[in-house]
Copies of this chain bind each other. A is one copy, B any other.
Amino acid sequence: MISFNSDYLEGCTAEILDALNKTNLEQTEGYGLDKHSERARELIKRKIGRSDVDIHFVSGGTQANLLTLSVLLSPYQSVISADSGHIAIHETGSIETTGHQVIRVKNDDGKLNAEDVLEIVRAAEEDYTARPGAVYISESTESGTIYSLDELKALRKVTKDNGIALFIDGARLAYALESTKADFTLRDIADLSDAFYIGGTKCGALFGEAIVICSDKYKKDFRKAMKARGAMLAKGRILGIQFETLFTDDLYFRLAREANRKADEIKNAFKAHGIRLYADSYTNQQFVVLSDAQAEKIKENFSFEVWGKEGDETIARFCTSWATGEDAVNALKDAIKTL
């Protein structure tokens, strides 16, 4: 059985294990103040092309989201998200747990658009409506799609015009940046948002995300916020070493490029066989619509994520990652031909 269920099925890219092995007996300071974390920060800043951002490493995506949004939002403010957004439906009410309302907007192919944001902002003048303080988007989205540079700029404009923070969930940022359709750079992401995070867990690391604070007003006491949320690792170096490795020789990006290429092959195999795409993704997540019979057939040798059911059809998600073998892809392609 070969699994294409997710991009966090295996451990991590070999280079990270090597680095953990090599550095294991070094004695370092705790709480992310060690030299590996510092070097990782430097490498990331260099890649972004800005030295004026603050970088903090945390252990997972939900943590990155709730921690950063709790800093971006003033008391009593709400956050706007697509109704398909991770914070809207996959995080057990974590944002509400921090005391903030999530305003869920009907998504368009996994995305939120600037017009909808503006409409909500305008409707919030009444005393009985919470004030939106941040917009949350994912790049790439939960549907595998990506925001174009123009879409990002439109969201930046509407948020800036209205004094609202823009936060980008980059759990799969590597795949977005390396998508053949991407017309934006890592620098654009930094310049167009107040904060974002660079996902490690789903892009080659054992675990870990790098939160990047781009706007000065949210920098002070972020480490205190981390500590208060239980998000500051005692041996912060474990996260530093991983990002140091991923940002050496562009490993992070090379892994994503390969995964995207494999996802593309799988997509093309489905298309060639006349199977309908559920979303037109150019990243590592591919969504296709299978008849229940086809789904059953594939399940004999492969597993995938059932994203939904529509009558007697199954919406299936196939993910690739740094760990997806060429053999696995070829086997799946062969199986597709037999459907």
A interface residues with partner B (beta carbon < 8 Å): 2-3, 6, 8-12, 14, 17, 20-21, 23-28, 30-31, 59-67, 70-71, 73-76, 78, 89-94, 96-102, 127-131, 201-202, 206-207, 221, 223-225, 227-235, 237-238, 323
Contact = CB atoms under 8 A, between A and B. Distances in A.
Nearest to A303: B27
A74 B93 CA distance: 13
A229 B230 contact: yes
Please classify the interface of chain A as helix (H, G, I), strand (E, B), loop, or mixed, using the class held by over half of its residues: loop
Nearest to A230: B63
A225 B76 contact: yes
Q: Number of copies of this chain in the oligomer?
A: 4
Given A99-B98, A127-B224, A221-B131, A230 B62 contact: yes
A229 B230 CA distance: 9
B20 A11 contact: yes
Nearest to A31: B127
B234 A92 contact: no
B10 A232 contact: no
Contact of A6 (B6, B30, B59): B30
19 contacts: A8-B235, A9-B27, A17-B24, A21-B21, A61-B234, A63-B231, A65-B230, A66-B229, A76-B92, A76-B93, A89-B128, A91-B227, A91-B230, A93-B100, A94-B227, A128-B227, A130-B228, A207-B233, A230-B230
Contact of A74 (B8, B74, B101): B74
Residue among A8, A74, A89, A127 with the most chain B CB within 10 A? A127
A25 B323 contact: yes
A186 B10 CA distance: 33
Contacts of A97: 76, 99-100, 228-229
A10 B30 contact: no
A61 B221 CA distance: 20
A290 B161 CA distance: 37
